Amino acid sequence: MSPVEAGDGAHEIPQKTDDWWRGQQSNLRGLFAVSTRMIDGREADGIMRLAGASVSSLSSCCAKAVYLFIGGALRRRDDMEPDAELDRQVWLLDGVSGPLVLPDGDWCWGFALRGLDGLLGYLAVHAAVEPPKDEFFLLEALGRQTASALVNASLHRREREHALELQELNRRLSASVARLEQQTHVHEVLSDIAVSSAGEPGIAHAVHQLTSLPVAIEDRFGNLRAWAGPGKPDPYPKNEAHQREELLRRAAAVPHPIREKNRVLSLVKPRYEVLAVVALVDPRNTVGAHEIFTLEYATTVLALELSHLRSLVEVELRLHRDLVDDLIIGTDDESAYARADALGHDLRGPHCVIVVCWDGEQTDDAVAEAVGRAAASLQLSSMISRHSGVVVLLASGCPEGEALYRLLSADLGGVGATGIGGRCDRPGDFPRSYSEAMRALDIRRKSGSPDGATTFDQLGLYRILDSGENRAEIVAYVREWLGRLLDYDEHKNTDLVQTLAQYLECGGHYDETASALVIHRSTLRYRLGRIRDITDLDLNDVDNRLNLHVATRAWKVLGGAL
Residue 3 lies in a domain: no
What was the pLDDT predicted at 463? Answer: 66
Residue 2 lies in a domain: no
Provide the whole-model pTM.
0.49
> In this structure, are 423 and 346 located in the same domain?
yes
CATH of the domain at 529: 1.10.10.2840
> In this structure, are 296 and 341 located in the same domain?
no
What was the pLDDT predicted at 500? Answer: 92
In this prediction, the residues of the chain whose per-residue pLDDT falls under 70 are 1-27, 313-314, 316-317, 319-321, 360, 447-448, 460-471, 557-562
End position of a domain, from candidates 130, 158, 186: 158
> In this structure, are 84 and 47 located in the same domain?
yes
DSSP at 163: H
> Cα 47 from chain centroid?
61
> In this structure, are 290 and 405 located in the same domain?
no
End position of a domain, from candidates 310, 340, 363: 310
Residue 431 lies in a domain: yes
Are 354 and 343 contacting, i.e. CB atoms less than 8 angstroms apart? Answer: no
What distance in Å separates the CA atoms of residue 232 and residue 296, rounded to the nearest whole number?
22
What was the pLDDT predicted at 323? Answer: 78
**Residues pairing with 258 in the sheet:** 265
> In this structure, are 485 and 460 located in the same domain?
no
What was the pLDDT predicted at 13? Answer: 40
What distance in Å separates the CA atoms of residue 258 and residue 279, rounded to the nearest whole number?
10
What was the pLDDT predicted at 5? Answer: 37
What distance in Å separates the CA atoms of residue 348 and residue 341, rounded to the nearest whole number?
10
For residue 435, the SS3 value is: helix
- Give the count of alpha carbons within 13 A of 393, CB side only: 28
Q: Are strands 224-228 and 215-219 parallel, antiparallel or unpaired?
A: antiparallel
Other CB atoms within 10 Å distance of the CB of residue 524: 20
> In this structure, are 406 and 477 located in the same domain?
no
User: What is the sign, positive or negative, of the torsion defined by CA atoms of 47, 48, 54, 55?
Assistant: positive
Residue 407 lies in a domain: yes
Are 282 and 275 contacting, i.e. CB atoms less than 8 angstroms apart? Answer: no
User: What is the sign, positive or negative, of the torsion defined by CA atoms of 186, 191, 192, 193?
Assistant: positive
End position of a domain, from candidates 441, 464, 487: 464
DSSP at 446: H
Residue 166 lies in a domain: no
> In this structure, are 113 and 149 located in the same domain?
yes
> In this structure, are 486 and 384 located in the same domain?
no
> In this structure, are 457 and 531 located in the same domain?
no
Give, for 115, the enclosing helix (H) or strand (E): strand 107-115
> In this structure, are 111 and 36 located in the same domain?
yes
Residue 303 lies in a domain: yes
> In this structure, are 431 and 497 located in the same domain?
no
Residue 323 lies in a domain: no
What was the pLDDT predicted at 2? Answer: 34
Q: Give the range of the structural domain holding residue 512, as residue numbers without chain letter.
A: 471-557
Residue whose C-alpha is closest to residue 130's, from 151, 102, 156, 150 = 102
What was the pLDDT predicted at 552? Answer: 87
CATH of the domain at 225: 3.30.450.40
> In this structure, are 454 and 512 located in the same domain?
no
Total domain count, the chain: 4
What was the pLDDT predicted at 12? Answer: 43
Residue 340 lies in a domain: yes
Over residues 168-223, the pLDDT tens digits come to: 999 999 988 988 888 899 888 888 888 887 888 999 999 999 999 999 999 888 89
What distance in Å separates the CA atoms of residue 257 and residue 239, rounded to the nearest whole number?
19
Other CB atoms within 10 Å distance of the CB of residue 218: 20
